[in-house]
A and B are shown apart, each in its own frame.
Chain A
Amino acid sequence: MLDYAEPISRLIDELRRLPGIGHKSAQRIAFHLLRIPPEEARRLTSAIEEVKEKITLCSICNNFTDRDPCRFCTNPARDRSVICVVEEPTNLVTIEKTREYRGLYHVLHGALSPIRGIGPEELKIKNLLERLRDGHVKEIILATNPNTEGEATASYLARLLKPLGVTVTRIAMGLPVGSDLEFADEVTMHKALANRRQI
């Protein structure tokens, strides 16, 4: 990296650590930043500083929030008898966008994956169990991803939660809307049939 002045190569180096950014993109972004007015660059750095200062995890549901507890957990209009469990905060946003769900959330921050060294202790499971203690919660919806890791996490949680007397449900799995039956593998088709409903 001797081709650039030291501060530039340091910037490229930092940018490269970001997900989805390779060397080429890092270089392009660095040179873009060099050209923009100082105010614009300062807006970017202060936005980064601000999220690092103000955003924490909600102590109840583990979602990213600027006040604790978060606006979902404190909203009196939300149904407190249902908790929807998701892997990542981005999954919560996806569900929230549908405006169909009015219950509470719980973010695990990952899924079980022994090969990546992620076991139950690495996930936010302990404070999920605490939330069930007062008996208000009647249903847990497991909305982890429909892949092997998400399935393992859902089935692990189901075994853990069912003995506590709460209804445990799994989001429906099957054919994606807008796809074609021809391209569905056998397991997907099997699940779609098992989860069929009357219309």
Chain B
Amino acid sequence: MRRLLLAVLCVGAPRVGLAQERGDAPLTIVAPAAPGGGWDQLARAMQHTLETEGIARPVLVENIPGAAGTIGLARFVSGRAGDPRSLLVTGLVMVGGIAQNATPVRLEAATPVARLVGEYEAIAVAAASPLKSLGDLLQLLERDVGAVSWGGGSAGGTDQMLVDLVAQARGLDARRTSYVAFAGGGEARGALLGGQVTAGVSGVGELAELAARGLVRILAVSAPARLPGIDAPTLRESGVDVVLVNWRGVMAPPGLRAADRRRLEEEILRMTRTPTWQDELRRRGWQDMTMGADAFGRYLVAEVNRVDRLAQARRGEGAGASRSLPRLPLVLAAVLVVALIAGRRQAPGRISTPQWRPVALIIGAMLVNLLLSERAGFVVGATVLFAATAFAFGERRVSRLLPIAGVFALATFLLFRGALGVALPIGSWWTGVAG
């Protein structure tokens, strides 16, 4: 029981106290994804190693999820320019997201620090599939590109990149491939096992697990040489000159002084040499692919170019079956309008005495809360929202209302921040930090 309490306390314990001891600003690692995913795990493994080995302390992890990491990137580049103590986790998937969505903030805006880990891709078929080798699959593909369905992760991600690269390497039109995008790796593997798709594309680790249980057969891996423990040839050996690694690394904000950049690089490279880091890699099944800032910078340029070309090739008319339903919103809007007009007669009778003022008050309070939250912080915004709503619902004793609103907002703030580590906004007016 004591251990449980300790563990719970550790989860919620504020980490700020340590900062004063060393007289150093905390190092913030921005994970541009929700907790639990690959980027978040990398950020937390770094946090653990850097703190345990005493390289940097304290280390904070901030999650800014959304749109393949491009939202985190935009916030990082604009909000932390020149900040010498912050890092952004990035990877091939972010390069893909930028190319796919043609986002304004590109990876080149940030400063490369180091590539850290990576995983090769694998192509597999269900154990019951008649396809025995990559050659069999390629033969099928060359007979009719569209007839081979590939199951993998989200559109424009690493898995689809591999499919496109394989098709292009064989001189086929990548736009005609039948790539089935699944929201999560679990769904994609389910479709592969159930024989819903011809072949599955995923990270080697996940497919190797299924192969070890005799559920799938790995046809090829995207590594430059055979991988230990995996009984499959490389793509190159099978006549497809493609190497692809789903890498992850860290970048610093733009506008950094050379000395600050060198310090970050030195800290990170020192981290990769510690036993704690090697232990993290083993435990999480990651391949060490450490690369210093200069080499990583050159590597990034090459990767960005390659992915941009792939995204361009995928665009335009003549794409295969993988087409969205572009007129869907229009059709829906038309149905909406027609149904509203047709149903107008059915609408029930009006309320006798509608009260517009309290409604306006509450909507106004929601807007004020929206405008205030980032600047004045959650507590102020929520107090306004609470007080205005209670007032709108007829509570007129302001002297009683305001303290209740304030206490409720503060208690909610402390509960979420303290016990869960969910950062409700403090407010830039008080902290002096933008964003």
Q: Do A and B come from one complex?
A: no
